[in-house]
Amino acid sequence: MRSALAITRKELQVYFTTPAAYVALMVVAFFAAQIFAGSLEAYRALAVRLPASEEGQRALAQLNLTDFVVARLFAQVALFLLVTAPFLSMRLLAEERRARTLELLLTSPVRPAAIVAGKYLAALLVSAACVAVVAAFPAILSLFAKGARGGPAVEWATVATGLLGLLLLGAMCVAVGLFVSALTESVVVAALLSLVALLALWLVTLFTVGAEGPLREIAAGLSASEHLAAFLQGRVELADLVYYLSFVILGLWLAERAVEGRRWA
């Protein structure tokens, strides 16, 4: 455990002494701000167009800020988290292999599992920081806005569930990226292969448009976006938790096996 934490500290120093973490945070913050502003303006315009009758007020109450602004923000920011994850994980093991420092780590009294855990935790913390940036936007709404009936502007239970979904998505993406990084010496190849794999998992249902039966069910079961939907609606489903945690465990196990294989290569 001590070895893994030492590796985590070292990797965090690398992240924050190079542009990697700052670029990821800036990309997520910039696009989140644009999406948030656009969604808020669309909500305002729709609220203005609704009639001042009792029926219009009921419609406005159903069209709450959490569903119309925050859930839409989280759904679209998820794609940027997915895109930034490969660039956070691409160098973790690939650079060690290219610089021939992975062999030095393996000859030290550090187990492959500790190496993988330490590097994964560092990338996961940066991904969690990106989610924390996104969490600032519903906080701003709660400070400066009110609900249609004068109540809270956002439903924090739904917001917290959506943030949990984003954290799990980030954890899955980093685990996949770490495994791919363990397979190559090129950080560019690691980033591209990770990005392709993650986008395939995100868009898999597009390949089965119009399909019915088992094929459609398999695609939905593999889709990262489908499993995120329940979190954005304020529901925590066991199947969705198992999906994300399974990818995390599988990605870390495969990365550990790849590192272990270098010991005997």
**Chain position carrying tokens 């292999």:** 97
Asked whether the predicted pLDDT for residue 72 surpasses 70, the reply is yes
Distance between CA 126 and CA 128 in Å, rounded?
5
- pLDDT of 246 above 80: yes
- In this prediction the pTM is 0.88
> Greatest CA span in the chain, whole angstroms?
75
- What average pLDDT is seen over the chain? 83
Q: CA end-to-end span of the chain, whole Å?
A: 26
- Look up residue 5 and give its amino acid: L
pLDDT of 16 > 70? The answer is yes
pLDDT of residue 263: 66
Is 264 exposed, middle or buried (CB count within 10 Å of its CB: 0-12, 13-18, 19+)? Answer: exposed
29: nearest Cα among 107, 129, 125, 100: 129
Of the two residues 146 and 121, the one the predictor is more confident about is 121
Over residues 220-224, the mean pLDDT reads 82
Band (pLDDT 50/70/90 cuts) for residue 55 is low
- Helical segments of the chain, H only: 2-17, 19-49, 54-62, 65, 71-89, 91-98, 102-107, 112-144, 156-181, 187-203, 214-222, 224-232, 238-263
Q: What would the pLDDT profile of 129-178 be if each residue is shown by its tens digit?
A: 999 999 998 888 887 766 555 556 678 888 899 999 999 999 999 999 99
